[in-house]
Structure 1
Amino acid sequence: MNNSASSDFASTRCCLLENRGLMPYLEAWEWQKRLVSDRKLNPALKDVLILLEHPPVYTLGQGATTEFLKFDPTRREYELHRIERGGEVTYHCPGQLVGYPILNLNDYCKDLHWYLRQLEDVIIRAVGVYGLEGTRIPGLTGVWVEGQKVAAIGIKVSRWITMHGFALNVCPNLKGFDRIVPCGISDQPVGSLAQFVPTITVEEMRHEVAIAFAAVFGVKLVNA
């Protein structure tokens, strides 16, 4: 298969767009699990793209180590949850656009590396609208702009149905990242799009990410 989903999907496959505002992490997590469970029972259900923000929260991947926390996990300022995605610790907060695609990869390409590169392509396309060049670093997952990591990606796939996804730093307060070694990478600074486009907003990026997602995965987004 080519590096993007078949253009035939655009006319035949719809993906529900769930635009939400600030949502507690545990609520969004349970929502994702319900959507995945429903699609395991009925694979014909439409795919879903959830776009939202979270209050401050730290999450650890399934096999993540606590050595990348710079605080005592039993005495913490914000929520901390160990979840089933891959990867190490990351931080979510307002001003960061989080995307949770619930896709049945049986209908796209059953290859996790392909899927990760597609998610990176979504971010690269979206930031390109603002004249920013999103780049990859070989051997790592995510998107960088001028050496600053602006997007982290962590996924879980079960029976080829995806959950979790990407987090794009649009205009967040980055201080929460100082309390961790983000994604276990100590030599790659975390940045935000606002460092390059000071007036940028989450709502603007929500729109551009949705357009880029539809183009990369070859789907028609419809409001849920």
Structure 2
Amino acid sequence: MEIRRCCCHPPFSRCVLVHEKTTSLCPGDGQYGHTDRADKHFLLPDSSEVWLNAASKLQYTQKDIGVREVWLDGEAWFHVRHTAENSRFIVHTYDKLSVEVLGTQFNVNNVGDKIAVVLQEGSVKLNITEQQGQTPTQLYLRPGEALRYNKTDGAYTKSKTDAEKAAAWTRGQLIMEDYTVADAIQFMQQVFDRHITVKDKKTLRYSISGSMPISYNADTMLIQFEKAFNTRFFRQDK
């Protein structure tokens, strides 16, 4: 584990309460998911590749030769294969945002109240539907660009980013740039479905930068976060 910089570091007396809870995923026809707390690699029927993060689900369908569609709940990295028919590949997020491509590599994180799309290679078109029946707003990303969409108010921003870092989780690394306790809480909820209670809201703003290996053992990951943030986590069964 490498921690390069700490901001507003909390004293060790700070404590965070972790509620234990376990859920399972049951993939069916055309669905990809897993109960393991680790990322999984899948090959879709069109030979596109998907790395599905822990506690994530993906449903694939191809109604006709011109359109391939998936519905994502969680986080996934895609390497979409271009087809001879130039069929579109559309990622739906169960919200007002969808991602449309022909052949490319990109990451989609649909967790919590935000959606983040990071493009590594090729190009993508983003369709944002503000109200049902309206023509969607269309945005395009170039390699090294990201779009972050707020599900609550519909606000979005486009910015430059390091696409390699966005896909680091597929290589078992957690890259932290101004990574806050709030980010760690979201990670624990996404990967392990552990709900964390913070009594002192100031704790949420404590941030660090660096990297650490991702462990798909909840207790090990909590210990790593304790060391990184100099914060103590207390477990409580729920």
TM-score, length basis structure 2: 0.26
- Structure 1 or 2, whichever has the larger Rg, is 2
More strand by share: 2
More helix by share: 1
Q: Higher relative contact order at CA 8 Å, sep ≥6: structure 1 or structure 2?
A: 1
TM-score, length basis structure 1: 0.27
